Chain A
Amino acid sequence: MKRVLLSTFGTVAGLIALLTFKSQGHPLTTTGALPSAGLPGSGSSSTPTTAPPAGGDTSGGSSSAPPPAASSSSAKAASRTVAGDAVETRYGVVQVQVTVSGNRIDNVSFLQLTAFDGRSQEINGAAAPILLQETLSAQSAHIDNVSGASYTTDGYLQSLQSALDKAGVR
């Protein structure tokens, strides 16, 4: 019985420890809280004002609450977007962005870059070639698709996207 209790507690404690570690490290700081309310007239974050010919407009596949900022263009935005601290990871510098409404965190997303700070660019000007060598290879980055300057049909064949498409076709 003692062993059962021990292993149960040990497992639960271990899980909590692992998960807690992964949910920390990004203290929320409001680096000039950016307004997230609706944009002046352009409707760029929500559906455009004219109905597309193909039928009713739906914002891309949202199954839950509408995007926090699309509706309210009032001065006091219900949700706030704050940026976390930049953290060193093995891909480079990661910065987290969090959308908060009230006390609740609505969404978290983040960006990975090899370098992001304009100032560090100047300081490391001579190191620019090194930066290039830290660029990621498509295999190790585990990407789903590739964005790049427009390719033609011929250009597609040489592109990273075509490699991904080929791998995904069964």
Chain B
Amino acid sequence: MTADSYYSQSSRRVGWVDFAIAGLLAGLIYALVTVAHEWGSPLQQAPVIHLEASYLPGYALLSLSRGVMAYGISFLFTLLYGYAMARVAGAERVLLPALDILQSVPVLGFLPGFVLGLVHLFPHRNIGLEMASVLMIFTGQVWNMTFSFYASLKSVPPDLVAVARLARMSWWTRFFRLDLSFAATGLLWNSMMSMAGGWFFLMVSEAFVLGDRDFRLPGLGSYMSLAIERGDAKAQWMGVLTMLGMITLVDQLVWRPLVAWSHKFSDEPSTGVTHSWLWEWIRSSRIWQATAKIVLSVLARLRPSAANKKASVHSPTEEVRSIPRWRKPLVITLVGTGITLGVVKYISLLATLSVHDWLNLLGSTGMTFSRVLAAVALASLWTIPVGVMIGRHPVWSRIMQPVIQMAASFPAPMIFPVVVGGLLAVGTGLGTSSIVLLLLGTQWYILFNVIAGCAAIPHELWEVSRLSRFSWRHRWVRLILPAIFPSVLTGWITATGGAWNASIVAEYMKYRGNTLSTMGLGAVISQATERGDFHLLAAAVGMMAFTVVVFNRLVWRPLSRLAQTRFSLET
């Protein structure tokens, strides 16, 4: 089962590729040392951030390290939570709604808890603050990955499960070679989206005011915040370019090779495969081949044959691992007590708010709600026609896909000030401008999905529409719109979720020494955080989560059902 013959087929060039990889490893070690140094240094609540260009690479490295660590945590969380949700009997009923609510809580909602708790835990070192920042990036990344993994686990083909059982695979083998392998493709695409989602709140995650304390961590996000606050246009440009460079680098060095590699997990014949220059080179380099060989042989040893033998032989219908019967009441009591306690605490926190506060909250919710809807509507207006145009032409999609992907992973809040500056100059207030900001952040999700949906329309249906001499209007109403509806819906759901979250940075910002704000739930959350008004913050975050969940239940869920039944392209 070794890969000997496979690797000996590819040429064994020892050349600059190997040197490059060695160099990369050296760089990685340097980066680790730098990051460790930053983490271990004494707590500096708000270190001086320098706007000179020479500091940018270091800042980018620090931000990247936070993103990567957050991703690592997201990945572990996804494996644990997703697996439990799909495979532990009864867990789904609790964990699925919990995940639904968690993902609707805006990133800032987690901030005070993380920061205050962790800074208390490590009062003298930077590590607490760093961890809080990482955890906030994590909350921007994790949820869609978890959902994807869960959905994959639920759809593992029963025949493959039967094969795994007949082969008496151990739990580990089965997890790696069946569950994780089957989920790999979906997990990878969602990882790319998650990384982008994490960058979205980079500025907030690295520089925030909590009550009377101003927290800053050296990084690209805090650099951008400062540049925007000071109105330093040159620094802003440099920051944006560095961010773009970092995203491109990660895309070329990490995601492309991974996507190329992940084709082996897909069932479809590999036509039109994403090519990665890096993957081709790495695969043919000596260092890689040697490493792969070692890893494979180690993996081959990891085969406790004794444990294997008893695995799953005695339970003919073993499917889900269930909690032992006697423990069930215990688990339910514990979880129940925890939830009750949390709810009581939360309500007592809210009890201090006045009627006026509540009315204000309701009004703000209404404002943000309309902005979110307006942004999604506006985004649909341009992305649907453009997306259909791109999706119909495979050549265009191939060219545009990477461009759009880059645009989507760029954190829109970094260019908010520039846009707002322009709009204010024309005479629009922040109330209206923030719609444009929400649009900037979320339109890509719709565009992506429209392109994918349109590309999936069977060729024959286009031909029928031509043969039946559909008018332009008919073609849209009878063919395109119904066919792309399921994908557009997915785009809408993601976009509205993103827009709610983005309202926090769109409705309230520091710009050229001034504070701009407009009435809205996002502004309330930002202000409450800054003032350290945790009662108001708790109420506002709860309000947002509640609105999002209710909207999901009342609007998106019935529409999804419709999409799956009436508008499914499978007949």
Are A and B interaction partners? no
Which residue numbers of A lie inside 8 Å of B, CB to CB? none
Which residue numbers of B lie inside 8 Å of A, CB to CB? none
